[in-house]
Amino acid sequence: MIDKTAVTDHPIEPALAGRWSPRAFAAEMIDDTTTASLFEAARWSPSANNLQPWAFIHGARGKQDFDRLLGCLNDSNASWAGNAALLVIGIARSTKADGSVNAYARYDLGQAVAHLTFQATALGLHLHQMAGFDREKTRAELGIPAEYEPVSAIAIGYLGDPSNLPQPLRDRELATRTRNPTSTFVFPGRWPG
Ligand SMILES: Cc1cc2nc3c(=O)[nH]c(=O)nc-3n(C[C@H](O)[C@H](O)[C@H](O)COP(=O)(O)O)c2cc1C
């Protein structure tokens, strides 16, 4: 199994450093207790006015639900995500109860997914988020109401063997992870210049 733990400039928590987005997943499934813990972590995420404007639709590999979710991904993502143990669609409630726009809905969904992500890492799982899916097809196929917006897809599973991936994906799997230095996006006091 490959280790793509972040090489950090400053110490961070192991569950943060150890997270990365694989495309090779093991055949092993995720038990129901573990799946429940993932969504429980999302549940306890903070949100603007505690509106909790998130929802998740999930399906485990081998079930019809999984195939329906897989069919909503673009071809490139579907080529590897079918090996994940669990597929999830992250959904934001874009409007508040009074019909006005909730400007923080996607922000809050993202934060809930971050909570889910680090719970997953702590439980030995890996997760790969995807923007590459058909939103209208997802809405229609999964029966998502108009006031909700499918925002991201997520493949979750235990790490697999990258040598099982086709060549271009294997190269990406083995590529070094890179990040901008904090000096390019963290500014003391005011915007630089
Ligand atoms: C919102 C979002 C959308 C993404 N969409 C895709 C995608 O459609 N396909 C894909 O292969 N990876 C996708 N990724 C994964 C990113 O490419 C990946 O997180 C990034 O390259 C950093 O790599 P790391 O997660 O291994 O640190 C997405 C990630 C996020 C957060």
The atom of ligand 1 lying closest to the CA of 6 is: 27
- Using CB distances shorter than 6 Å, the residues near ligand 1 are 20-21, 77, 129-132, 152, 177
Q: Quote the pLDDT of residue 180.
A: 98
Give the span between the Cα atoms of 110 and 157, in whole angstroms: 19
Burial string for 146-172 (b: 16+ CB within 10 Å, else e) reads: eebbbbbbbbbbbbbebeebeeebbee
Partner residues linked to 155 by β-bridges:
87, 128
Q: Which of 115, 128, 180 to mutate to test the pocket of ligand 1 (most atoms within 8 A of CB)?
A: 128
Query: For the CA atoms of the chain, what is the radius of gyration?
Result: 18
Q: Quote the pLDDT of residue 134.
A: 98
Residue 170 in tokens: 């294997």
DSSP string computed for 22-83 = -S-B-S----HHHHHHHHHHHHTS--GGG---EEEEEEETTSHHHHHHHTTB-HHHHHHHTT
Give the span between the Cα atoms of 149 and 146, in whole angstroms: 7
CB 86 within 8 A of CB 58: yes
Report how far apart, in Å, the C-alpha atoms of 52 and of each of 42, 82, 110, 156, 185 are: 10, 29, 11, 22, 28
pTM of the model: 0.97
Give the span between the Cα atoms of 32 and 135, in whole angstroms: 27
Residues of the chain under the 50 pLDDT cut: none
Give the span between the Cα atoms of 121 and 59, in whole angstroms: 19
Which residue, judged by its Cα, is nearest atom 27 of ligand 1? 20
Q: Quote the pLDDT of residue 105.
A: 98
Domain 32-175 has CATH 3.90.600.10: no
Q: Quote the pLDDT of residue 96.
A: 97
Torsion angle, alpha carbons of 147, 151, 153, 154, to 10: -100
Q: Quote the pLDDT of residue 1.
A: 78
**What is the Å distance from ligand 1's center to 193 Cα?**
31
**What is the Å distance from ligand 1's center to 173 Cα?**
12
CB 56 within 8 A of CB 115: no
Q: Which of 21, 77, 113 to mutate to test the pocket of ligand 1 (most atoms within 8 A of CB)?
A: 21
Q: Quote the pLDDT of residue 12.
A: 97
**What is the Å distance from ligand 1's center to 78 Cα?**
14
Q: Quote the pLDDT of residue 103.
A: 98
Which residue, judged by its Cα, is nearest atom 21 of ligand 1? 21
Report how far apart, in Å, the C-alpha atoms of 87 and of each of 23, 35, 163, 189 are: 13, 11, 22, 42
Residue 136 in tokens: 């209208």
